[in-house]
Amino acid sequence: MIIEKLLLQVLIVLSPVLVYSVISNGKKELKFPFLMVFYAIAGVLCIVFSYQTFGLYWDLRYVIVVCAFLYGGMKTGWLVFATVMITRTIMGGDHLVFAYVCIASAAITVYFFRVKYQTVLSKWGKTLFTIVLSLVPVVVQVSIVSVLIRDDILLILDQSVLARYLFYYVTVIMIAAGFITLLHEAINEKKRMQEEIIRAEKFNTLAGLAASIAHEVRNPLTVVKGFLQLMKEEKKDSNQQYYSLVLSELGRAENIINDYLSFAKPELKSVEDVKLLENIHEILALLHPYAIKDGVHLNELIEISDHLLVRVDRNQLKQALVNFVKNAIEATPNGGNVTLVVQKSSDLVTIHISDTGKGMNKEELSRIGTLFYTTKDKGTGLGTMVSIRIIEAMRGTVSYQSKEFVGTTVSISLPIRRDETSSIHTFKDKNKQVI
């Protein structure tokens, strides 16, 4: 019977760690002290479901107290210690003072050796340390029992049974202390691995960013360097043809650097009330020649009033929308269509930019907007990220829908000014290209 009870005690001892590992999985830090509460509950259950014989309580409360100090900290340890003492007081019995001494010996021992425990690095070393600390109160308990038997205070007719029970008890304590330590160390090791993975990802991102900047900026600078060398070697009168090319390449390098800065921290320099329709017409007029060059039909469907206002940075919004429309044009084959639909819904206005390109599968769609990912042959994917960050900085949202061999739709939603009460009108011309 004692074996079954002690095995139940092992389950009770392990339960706080198992439940805590499930709750804390993937979370860096928990605001609520779950481990403290779980250990306190386990301490109560150990005493309530203990095996009682010879006037003694056979349970694993000492393992709970020791591990609460070692893995929960001083605050958790003393709370669990107090909980166990109160529970044992409520349970009562003939040898209550004897129980107090054993529980206190467990708490005091681990209190003085906790600093030494932290210096042990290997998990097996910590396991052995925990087992030894858990056996200290057992030694105290055996010593007190021996004195009580010698002074005939504790009457035990068959001491061989007591010895056998004591052997079972010590064995189970060693097993429970070992398992609970290994579980705690496994959780700690998992957290360390997660931190290492996050740190490695940050370094990889930083390395990729540095490589991308070097590659993107080096190209125009190489061109500038080459032309400057030619200008140095040739006569002054023949250098005029290179000036525009040098300035163009320097401007491209400047734009690349500005994109990286916008990605790092989008800056809304001038937030104002902007007529969205006016802004959209400017963008379409700007990109119309680009669409014609690629043989793409650029269409619009407007369902908002001319005076609908959004509070944004005009230039930043223009930059983001130009990038989205330009991406749609580049993804569309010759003879395809790019359609811009603008709709108002309650306090939001949504701009849908649809193309009839090759579309994307689920994996490609899930990676859109992540650093250095692009479906183009050339590019860093930075433009899309910058555009998304700009929209989000203006309290908007960006979402993608795509189907392979059908096309892609990007939806940009922006909040409308609260006092906006303009009426809605619809303009539609399927066959007319935007000018």
Domain 2-200 has CATH 1.10.1760: yes
Instruction: Tell me which fold the domain 271-428 belongs to.
Output: Heat Shock Protein 90 (3.30.565)
Which candidate, 260, 370, 270, places its Cα nearest to that of 316?
A: 270
The answer to whether 58 and 50 have CB atoms below 8 angstroms apart is: yes
> Mean pLDDT highest for which of 19-28, 158-167, 254-263, 312-321?
312-321
DSSP string, 278-299: HHHHHHHHHHHHHHHHTT-EEE
Which tens digits make up the pLDDT trace of 251-261?
667 666 666 66
Domain ranges within the chain, ordered by starting residue: 2-200, 209-264, 271-428
CA 183, 184, 188, 193: dihedral to nearest 10 degrees? 0
pLDDT score recorded for residue 426: 39
pLDDT score recorded for residue 388: 87
Mean pLDDT for 356-364 is: 87
pLDDT-based confidence at 431, cuts 50/70/90?
very low
pLDDT score recorded for residue 319: 85
Kindly give the residue spans of alpha helices, DSSP state H, lying in 265-381: 276-293, 314-331, 362-367
DSSP string, 131-197: HHHHHHHHHHHHHHHHHHHHTTSS--S-HHHHHHHHHHHHHHHHHHHHHHHHHHHHHHHHHHHHHHH
* Amino acid at site 102: C
Kindly give the residue spans of alpha helices, DSSP state H, lying in 73-95: 74-91
pLDDT score recorded for residue 421: 45
Q: Which residues, 6+ apart, have CB-to-CB distance to 359 below 8 Å?
A: 402, 403, 404, 405, 406, 407, 408
Task: Reduce the DSSP state of residue 235 to 3 states and report it.
Answer: coil
pLDDT score recorded for residue 423: 41
Which tens digits make up the pLDDT trace of 55-100?
778 899 999 999 999 998 899 999 999 999 999 999 887 778 888 9
Residue 243 has pLDDT above 70, yes or no: no
Q: Which CATH number fits domain 209-264: 1.10.287.130, 3.40.50.1110, 3.40.50.1360, 3.40.630.30?
A: 1.10.287.130
pLDDT score recorded for residue 354: 95
Q: Which residue's entry shows tokens 């930043």?
A: 316
